[in-house]
């Protein structure tokens, strides 16, 4: 494979700054919400808080470990195998709060779990709000019964993650470079007869080879399976002159997301329907990127966004913009037509990272086109982070 300069490590100084910045962001958002203790178990939050990277997908469905983050003072980690996480001064065995680990009586497990957290609060003199992530409802019920003021930690950590540091952006640029190396290898391997699963496996292999973590979805489809979108990869062989679309959803080295979509023609004879859908998706992504600047509100973005052709509206994608960091992140900016039912407002800030999306597939037509770019919000507008080429056979002159 060759490393092509893709074996990358932060220096010790950079790594220290990365961790200090992220912990400070969490604590800043805790202060804004008058919270003096966060109890975290989401693997993405754990990665953000202390760069915890053990068995992350297992942790996502069986939360074995958890972290106590006070508004100031030492952090306490429960259940980690390693003992060298920055800013963690104390490690303990966890009091399990999942059925797999604790059995079917989670009410009793919650009582033991909270007793230990109560001792920690007393030790540090904490008496304010406690923010929990995705624990059993018995945890919240028992905490409320004990008179604790309880809030959800998800909003705290998601808000903290929105604005990226210089070190975070180094990591993200590296994840994008790894993803684009995988995309290039897929492009070379794409031939009639290769299956969707086989083609997608190349992206996984490249990501793991360079220290990446996982891919959130198996999002690669060909031919009629490209429309509507979100049909994951199968054993279907890719046929000559079919469209092949994919979305990387790649969690790369240091845990940062590379979220890039491209659609290719597997052959050299594009038809008019394929070209029209491709042009529509390209125009939407290109136009919507041009709107990005710090200070613009989510609602204003939705109102000013590319006006889609009527035939592409029914099968539209779930959003036109979304945040990116350690995974898909806040905010998710919906199409204007979806605004009354689903959305919320906010403002873009410098050093936020967004993905700009389009799926263009007309209802009743055979194929659709998925395109997506990842961009950094800068003081004057945006910087394109993902720059893999478009398919000129589909795009034509522009």
Q: What is the rounded distance in angstroms from the CA atom of residue 139 to the CA atom of residue 136? A: 6
Q: At what angle do helices 43-50 and 154-161 cross, to 10 degrees?
A: 50
**Confidence at residue 341, expressed as pLDDT on a 0 to 100 scale:** 77
Q: At what angle do helices 196-209 and 166-189 cross, to 10 degrees?
A: 140
Of the CA atoms within 13 Å of residue 314, those in its CB half-sphere come to 7
Token pair for residue 67? 């972290």
**Confidence at residue 196, expressed as pLDDT on a 0 to 100 scale:** 98
**Confidence at residue 340, expressed as pLDDT on a 0 to 100 scale:** 73
CB-based contact 320:281 (threshold 8 Å): no
This prediction has a pTM of 0.95
Grouping H, G, I as helix, E, B as strand and the rest as coil, residue 83 is: coil
Q: What is the per-residue burial (b if ≥16 Cβ within 10 Å, else e) of 245-279?
A: bbbbbbbbbbbbbbbbbbbbbbbeebeeebbbbbb
CB-based contact 118:143 (threshold 8 Å): no
Of the CA atoms within 13 Å of residue 351, those in its CB half-sphere come to 11
**Confidence at residue 398, expressed as pLDDT on a 0 to 100 scale:** 43
Token pair for residue 100? 């797999």
What contacts 24+ positions apart, CB below 8 Å, involve 4-12? 4/181, 6/174, 6/177, 6/178, 6/181, 6/210, 7/210, 8/174, 8/210, 8/253, 10/167, 10/170, 10/171, 10/254
| CATH classification number, 166-395, choose in 3.40.50.620, 3.40.50.360, 3.90.230.10, 3.40.50.300 | 3.90.230.10
CATH 3.40.350.10 residue ranges for the chain: 12-161
**Confidence at residue 343, expressed as pLDDT on a 0 to 100 scale:** 75
Q: For the chain, list residues with pLDDT below 70.
A: 1-5, 397-398
Query: How far separated are the first and last CA of the chain, in Å rounded?
Result: 35
Task: Give residues with Cβ within 8 angstroms of 275, minimum separation 6.
Answer: 394, 395, 396
**Confidence at residue 1, expressed as pLDDT on a 0 to 100 scale:** 46
Fold type of domain 12-161 = Creatine Amidinohydrolase; Chain A, domain 1 (3.40.350)
Helix (H) or strand (E) holding 243: strand 242-247
């Amino acid at each position: 494979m060759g490393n092509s300069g893709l074996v990358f490590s932060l220096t010790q100084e950079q790594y220290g700054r990365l961790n200090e910045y992220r912990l400070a962001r969490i604590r800043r958002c805790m202060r804004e919400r008058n919270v003096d203790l966060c109890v975290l178990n989401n693997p993405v939050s754990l990665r953000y808080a202390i760069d915890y990277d053990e068995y992350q997908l297992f942790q996502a469905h069986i939360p074995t470990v958890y972290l106590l983050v006070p508004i100031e003072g030492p952090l306490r980690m429960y259940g980690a195998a390693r003992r060298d996480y920055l800013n963690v001064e104390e490690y303990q065995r966890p009091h399990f709060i999942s059925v797999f680990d604790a059995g079917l009586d989670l009410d009793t497990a919650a009582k033991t779990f909270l007793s230990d957290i109560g001792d920690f609060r007393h030790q540090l003199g904490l008496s304010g709000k406690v923010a929990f992530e995705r624990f059993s409802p018995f945890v919240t019920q028992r905490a409320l019964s004990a008179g604790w003021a309880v809030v959800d930690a998800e909003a705290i950590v998601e808000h903290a993650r929105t604005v990226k540091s210089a070190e975070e952006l180094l990591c993200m640029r590296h994840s994008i470079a790894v993803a684009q190396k995988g995309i290039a290898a897929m492009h070379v391997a794409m031939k009639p007869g290769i299956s969707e699963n086989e083609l997608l496996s190349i992206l996984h292999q490249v990501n793991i080879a360079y220290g990446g973590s996982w891919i959130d979805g198996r999002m690669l489809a060909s031919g009629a399976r490209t429309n509507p979108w979100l049909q994951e990869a199968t054993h279907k062989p890719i046929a000559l002159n079919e469209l092949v679309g994919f979305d990387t959803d790649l969690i790369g080295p240091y845990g940062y997301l590379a979220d890039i979509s491209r659609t290719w023609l597997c052959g050299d004879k594009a038809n008019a329907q394929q070209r029209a859908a491709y042009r529509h998706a390209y125009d939407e992504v290109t136009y919507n990127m041009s709107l990005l600047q710090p200070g613009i509100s989510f609602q204003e973005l939705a109102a000013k966004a590319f006006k889609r052709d009527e035939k592409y509206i029914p099968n539209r994608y779930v959003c036109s913009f979304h945040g990116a960091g350690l995974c898909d992140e806040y905010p998710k900016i919906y199409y204007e037509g979806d605004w009354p039912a689903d959305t919320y407002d906010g403002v873009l800030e410098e050093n936020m990272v967004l993905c700009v999306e389009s799926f263009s597939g007309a209802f009743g037509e055979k194929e659709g086109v998925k395109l997506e770019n990842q961009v950094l919000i800068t003081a004057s507008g945006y910087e394109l982070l993902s720059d893999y080429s478009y398919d000129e056979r589909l795009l034509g002159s522009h």
